[in-house]
Amino acid sequence: MTGLSQNDLSLRGRATLWAQRNSWRLPASVRRIGKKLFIGSQLTSGSDGIVDDWSKPLVPFDAMGAPDAPTAPASIPTSSTSNPDDFLVSPGSVHCLIVTPVLDAGGLDEFVAFLARRLPHFGFRVTVMCAHSSSEPVGQLFTALQREGTAVVAASPSEACLWIEANRPDVVSAHDPPGWLLQTASDVRIPVVETLHGIPTPVSTDWREERQRSKFVTCFVAVSELVRRQYLSGNPSYSDSAVITIPNAFNQTHRPLVNRPRARAWLGLNDEFLFLCLGRHTVQKNAYGLIQAFSEVAGDDPKVHLLIAGRLDDAVYTRQVRTLRDKMPCKERIHLRQSFSDPSILLAAADCFVLNSFFEGWSLASMEALSAGLPTIVSDVGGAREQLGLDGSRGFVVANPVGDPESANWHSSSLMRFQPQKNKDELVSAMKSVVAHRDYWSGVRGQLSADSKSRFDPAVCSKRHAEVLLWAISRSMTKSEFADCARP
């Protein structure tokens, strides 16, 4: 560390965490610093052996051999023919540019794809832009949208600015947007609606600069009330009426149900109890704390397994997680895997979903688990109480690993990532409870699925986003201009 000031370390540490969220590769010198600090991100295109692929089952097969992998039903596309009664504007008259840095496999990425697929049913013309500064692959959802016929572009900052100036979209739906993009939109008088998928976003919102930065944003959509409160607390000068809460929805068209017996057989499961955690391999998701809690559950029951599957974002942290796992007596029942192209299969095979994150805005993974009928255990993060309630009928909201959920951020998470966590006993108790009552939860699986799909209605969510986008346009247009694109 010789020759580096504490300020240098802080800046480089923040830079590595920022890159971690956005899947951007940093210069080698910065990655080396992050590796020494054990907070950096060493991004790789593969797993480097840190996490396993899907070439083997969770439980070894007997002499009968491995069954064929289950096939999920084809995704149920939203109707290719829009219903004119649903249009909020004349078809194609409003061009919405949806911007995100990465379009791969994360929850934010999934929601961008959700909007891209849904907004055309209200009359919008949509382009999705992956605005980045890297030559890294743009990801699987970029490819999926392109294959479905959605207009998608990948652009460097200079290319993106030129594209915006040349195409002049009517409104920008921004998801973790870079500052230069907000400035460009402001320069050409295009309104911006930024969706706050979580606070902090992406590393730790700089409240000293946020007041100035937010002047380029027409309004914000917060994915949960906790996120809305956190934002307004940090930026009290921003109009509270221009920060609107719209909970995320379950994308049922792209998460079809899968045959549970076949999914379990493919993973080698018989009467084992499977806890499933779907989340990127990164500090935020707190796999280290989850494994520590699971080890106590596993000590009392030799049939419980834990599967953690997600994109490898932080190789340094994940090596520490793997080292912890390998020291456990139950190590053969703790499975660290890459992300899976069809989570529906894993959700069908699992018995309980668990997520012990330090912070979230609104977890799409836990919402999808509930919609698949799984009892769910989530730490007290943004959206957890709205999703699960507090009566135990859908699972359990346990305390946040750092204590106060509103104080959880990258800094507090980094300090706590390898320490004894405040919610461990409560998390262990919740996991043991679900195992003990597995027959009950199995019996209400269908009811829980139906209830969750109703509560997380995609039509309601997407329509509310469409209405906010139109409201933002109306603020920047004259009445006569807006009337030209409004529905007759």
The DSSP result for 348-385, as a single string, is HH-SEEEE--S--SS-HHHHHHHHTT--EEEES-TTHH
Question: Residue 358 carries which side chain, given as an amino acid letter?
Answer: F
The DSSP element (H or E) to which 395 belongs, if any, is strand 395-398
Using DSSP bridges, classify how beta strands 243-245 and 352-355 pair: parallel, antiparallel or unpaired.
unpaired
Cβ proximity of 372 and 351 under 8 Å: no
Q: What is the pLDDT of residue 44?
A: 39
Contacts 24+ apart (CB under 8 A), 53-56: 53/337, 53/338, 54/337, 54/338, 54/340
C-alpha–C-alpha distance, residues 414 and 274, integer Å? 28
Residue entry with tokens 């600069």: 209
Is residue 376 within 8 A of residue 261, CB to CB? The reply is: no
The dotted CATH code for 84-249+458-485 is 3.40.50.2000
Name the region of 280 (left: φ>0; alpha: ψ -120 to 50; beta: rest): beta
Distance separating alpha carbons of residues 324 and 418, to the nearest angstrom: 10
Q: Residue 392: its pLDDT value, please?
A: 93
Q: Whole-angstrom distance between the N-terminal and C-terminal Cα of the chain? A: 66
Under a CB-based contact definition with an 8 Å cutoff, are residues 304 and 329 in contact?
A: no
Contact (CB, 8 A) for 105 and 311: yes
Tell me the angle at which helices 364-371 and 445-455 cross, rounded to the nearest 10 degrees: 130
Whether residue 358 contacts residue 203, with contact meaning beta carbons closer than 8 Å, is answered with no
Dihedrals phi, psi of 222, to nearest 5 degrees: -100, 140
Identify whether the C-beta of residue 190 lies closer than 8 Å to the C-beta of residue 215: no
Nearest to 114 by CA among 460, 470, 373: 460
Residue 174, token pair as written in the block = 């921004």
- From the list 153, 109, 157, the residue with the least C-alpha distance to 133 is 157
- Residue entry with tokens 């382009």: 127
What is the side-by-side strand order in the sheet with 219-222?
151-155, 124-131, 94-100, 171-175, 192-196, 219-222, 243-245
CA-based angle 69:75:78, to the nearest 5? Answer: 175
Nearest CA among 454, 452, 464 for reference residue 246: 464
The residue type at 143 = T
CB of 441 closer than 8 Å to CB of 273: no
**Can 84-249+458-485 and 255-455 be said to share one CATH topology?**
yes
Domain boundaries, the chain: 6-37, 84-249+458-485, 255-455
Distance of CA 224 to the CA centre of its chain: 13
Judged by DSSP in three states, 410 sits in: helix
pLDDT at position 226 is: 84
In this structure, what are the phi and psi dihedrals at residue 300, rounded to the nearest 5 degrees?
-95, -15
The answer to whether the beta carbons of residues 161 and 180 sit under 8 Å apart is yes
Q: Tokens representing 156? A: 């460097």
Residue 99 has which token pair? Answer: 């911007």
CA dist 469 and 169 (Å) reads 12
Cβ(196)–Cβ(176) under 8 Å?
A: no
The amino acid present at 99, given as its one-letter code, is: V
Question: Per residue of the chain (488 residues), what is the pLDDT tens digit?
Answer: 333 333 333 344 444 444 444 333 333 333 333 333 333 333 334 456 799 989 889 998 765 566 766 765 554 444 445 566 677 888 889 999 999 988 887 778 889 999 999 999 999 999 999 987 554 556 788 888 989 999 999 988 999 999 999 999 999 999 989 899 999 999 999 999 999 988 765 445 788 899 999 999 999 999 988 889 989 999 999 999 999 999 988 776 656 678 899 999 999 999 999 999 999 999 999 999 999 999 999 999 999 999 999 989 899 999 999 999 999 999 999 999 998 878 889 999 999 999 999 998 888 899 899 999 999 999 999 889 989 999 999 999 999 999 888 777 778 888 889 999 999 999 999 999 999 999 999 999 999 999 998 888 888 999 999 999 999 999 876 444 444 544 44
Cβ burial of 68 (10 Å; 0-12, 13-18, 19+) is exposed
C-alpha distances in Å from residue 159, one per residue of 145, 183, 429: 21, 14, 52
What homologous superfamily is domain 255-455 in, according to CATH?
Glycogen Phosphorylase B; (3.40.50.2000)
